[in-house]
Amino acid sequence: MQTCSNITDSDLSANPNQVLVLDTVEIHNRRPNQSVLAGILIADGDGPGLPRLVKVAFHFGWKSWVCSEEYSIQRATRYVRASLPDAIAAFEAAVGIELPDTRVIELGVGVYGSKTRLASENPFALEHGSRYQVQCKSSGVRRFVVDVCNGRTLIRFLDSQGDAEPYETYEPAVVLSAEDWRSLTRLAS
C-alpha cells in the first residue's frame, strides 16, 4: 500500500497490484480536491467476471462517492453509489485489503476520518499534552495544548505567556477551520 497526494489512472497503471491511497482529502462546496481516494490495478484481473481496475472515487455527475469496478473486456463499468465510508467498505470487500482511515478536511464541517466521519476520532493524531500552533487568517497565530480524556480529543488554547486556559476545552474540529489545519505545527515542549 502506498500513500500519495494525487492518484490518476496512469499512477495505477505504473503500480500494478499495489493499492494507492490519498493521505488527505480536502472538500470544498461538497466537492473533493482529488476525485480518486484509493485504487488498484489488478494485473491478472482479466478472468471471467473479475475487475481489472477498482477505485473509490467521487463521481462529479452524480455528486456522490462511488466504488467503481472497470473491466478490460467489453463490459460496462460497475458503479456503487454510497457514502464515503460505505464506498471504502465496498472497495475493501472487492479487493480484500483494508484501507487506512484517510484524513478529510471539509470546509464548514471539520476534520474527520474517511471511514468513521467522526471529528473526535483525532485524524491528525494530536498527542496528549503536546503543544501545537496554527496560522489563522483572521486572528493570527493560535497556540493550544491537547487533552485526551475518555477517548475524546480536546484542545485548550494558550495565552500569551504560554499557559493553558484552565477550564475552557474545545473539540478541534469545532474551533479550527480547514485552513487552520493546513498550517498545523507541533511546538517543542
pLDDT digits (tens, 9 = 90+) for 24-67: 998 888 899 999 999 999 877 656 656 689 999 999 988 899 99
- Cα within 13 Å of Cα(34), Cβ side: 22
Residue-level pLDDT at 180? 76
Which residue ranges of the chain lie beneath pLDDT 50? 119-120
Q: What pLDDT does 120 receive?
A: 45
Task: Yes or no: say if 115 and 92 are a contact pair by the CB < 8 Å rule.
Answer: no
**How confident is the model at residue 51, as a pLDDT?**
67
Whole-angstrom distance, CA of residue 177 vs CA of residue 125: 17
- Cβ atoms of residues 120 and 173 within 8 Å: yes
Cβ count near 189 (within 10 Å): 7
